[in-house]
Structure formats: structure tokens, C-alpha cells
């Protein structure tokens, strides 16, 4: 892989770096998309993915939602961080200011060692009380989920992820926007750049003068915006980039 002189200079001199990761990064760990196609799961007990993973189902059949999410958590527990996750965890130590924003809910960035991750869509190994809003961390692979009731108010718990029909958690995306707007170097890795509002982050970074770099196997709608595009597996490309640091 050939790196341009401009990119090498930007990478070596950058003090403020922001990274957005998507499903492509997790796919390299064997994480299925659960959206259908290939070997992924398109339906659950006859219900489409976007129905069982919806806000409406939480109110209508929370037990069914948990059965589905516990199944997903069981699948994800067998997946481990890959070189892309591990490299980004290292970058957090290498740069003066580093922000990692992810659309993924699998928690693999944290398992790789990343300390400060902005999870715009939540985390599948966390639950949230429908009554008082208290959050509970769940052990990876603990299926069925525990606790089953809120320890504070005995309210029902739901998966702490953004479901279809829901807004992003208050303050989470705003924090990501703030970081994107002030970074010198912005990486968008393993995402088709179709899911908004997260897909707007590289656009915000570009408008504010950042050098934008795309890492993805294929061209995306965002490619024309980027100053540099690398085609291939994220783990391999990020390791190659790191060699110039």
C-alpha cells in the first residue's frame, strides 16, 4: 500500500484525531450485520430485523425483544477484537487528543483497550431501566441477561441500544460533533456513510478544515469528500499506516 507524502505529513504532525467506525470494522471480527443477506439473520421468529429491534416492540413485547438481544449477545460473545480495534486502541495513547466514535454496539473497541469511546448507538452489553433510567453493565456472554429488574426501583429493563424509531441519546451525538469540528485529521473506517446523523461527522470535520481519510473495501457516497481513500481491510490498512508514525 502506497501512502502519499501529504498523508504521511498530516499523520505524523497531527495532534487532534477523530475516528468514526462502522459495521465494516466489526465484520472483520466475524460480527454478523443481522440485516439479512449472506449468512446473517434477516428475521426472528418471522419478524423482520427492524420490527423486533424497534421501540414499538419494547412497549408491546419486551420479553421477545430480550430473547432476540440475548441471542445476539450470545453470538457476539464468540467474537474478539481484530487488528483494527487493537490499532485504534494504540492510537488513543499515541495522539495528544484522540476521539473514537462508533456506530457499533458490540463493545469490541472497549474489549481491545480503548478507554473513551463515544457509542452513538449504545452498547448491547448494557441495559437501561424503563422507570428511572439507571444503566447496568452486563458481562459479555451472560445469557440470559442479568439483572432482570432494576436494582433501584424494580422497574423493567431494556437493551441500552438505539432501536428503530428512536432518537440518539441526548448529548452523545453533540459530543461527537464537537470533537469532529476541532480535529485536524478525521478517519472514517468501515462504514457506508449512509446512516445519519453519524455519517454527517466527516462532513462536519471537512467543513472545519480537517484532512479526511476513508478506509473501506469499496467506494462509498463519502469517497468524493475525502482527501485520501484506502481500499481494503481496515485491520491491515491501519497497521500499515501506523508504521509511518
**Catalytic positions:** 121
Kind of pairing between the strands at 16-21 and 185-189 = parallel
Nearest to 126 by CA among 144, 110, 107, 143: 107
Instruction: List, as own/partner pairs, every contact residues 107-111 make where C-beta atoms lie below 8 angstroms and the sequence separation is at least 24, other chains included.
Output: 107/76, 107/140, 108/25, 108/26, 108/29, 108/31, 108/79, 108/80, 108/81, 108/82, 109/21, 109/81, 109/85, 111/80, 111/81, 111/85, 111/140
| DSSP 8-state symbol, 18 | E
Q: Are 54 and 61 a contacting pair, CB within 8 Å?
A: no
97 phi and psi, to 5 degrees? -130, 120
Secondary structure E strands in the chain:
16-21, 43-44, 47-48, 97-102, 117-119, 122-129, 135-137, 157-161, 185-189, 211-215, 228-230
Amino acid at each position: 500500500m502506497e501512502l502519499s507524502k501529504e498523508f504521511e505529513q498530516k499523520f505524523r504532525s497531527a495532534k487532534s484525531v477523530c475516528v468514526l467506525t462502522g459495521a465494516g470494522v466489526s465484520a472483520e471480527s466475524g460480527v454478523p450485520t443481522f440485516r439479512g443477506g449472506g449468512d446473517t439473520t434477516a428475521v426472528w421468529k418471522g419478524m423482520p430485523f427492524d420490527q423486533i429491534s424497534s421501540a414499538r416492540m419494547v412497549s408491546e413485547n419486551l420479553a421477545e425483544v430480550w430473547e432476540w438481544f440475548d441471542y445476539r449477545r450470545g453470538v457476539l460473545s464468540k467474537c474478539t477484537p481484530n487488528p483494527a480495534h487493537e490499532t485504534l486502541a494504540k492510537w488513543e495513547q499515541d495522539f495528544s487528543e484522540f476521539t473514537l466514535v462508533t456506530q457499533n454496539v458490540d463493545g469490541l473497541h472497549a474489549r481491545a483497550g480503548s478507554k473513551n469511546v463515544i457509542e452513538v448507538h449504545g452498547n448491547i452489553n448494557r441495559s437501561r431501566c424503563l422507570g428511572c433510567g439507571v444503566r447496568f453493565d452486563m458481562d459479555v456472554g451472560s445469557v440470559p441477561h442479568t439483572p432482570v429488574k432494576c436494582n433501584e426501583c424494580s422497574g423493567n429493563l431494556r437493551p441500552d441500544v438505539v432501536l428503530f424509531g428512536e432518537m440518539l441519546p441526548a448529548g452523545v451525538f453533540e459530543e461527537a460533533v464537537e470533537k469532529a469540528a476541532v480535529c485536524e485529521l478525521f478517519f472514517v473506517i468501515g462504514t457506508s456513510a449512509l446512516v445519519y446523523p453519524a455519517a454527517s461527522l466527516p462532513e462536519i470535520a471537512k467543513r472545519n478544515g480537517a484532512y479526511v481519510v476513508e478506509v473501506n473495501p469499496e467506494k462509498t457516497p463519502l469517497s468524493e469528500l475525502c482527501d485520501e481513500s484506502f481500499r481494503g481491510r481496515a485491520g491491515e490498512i491501519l497497521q500499515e499506516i501506523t508504521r509511518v508514525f
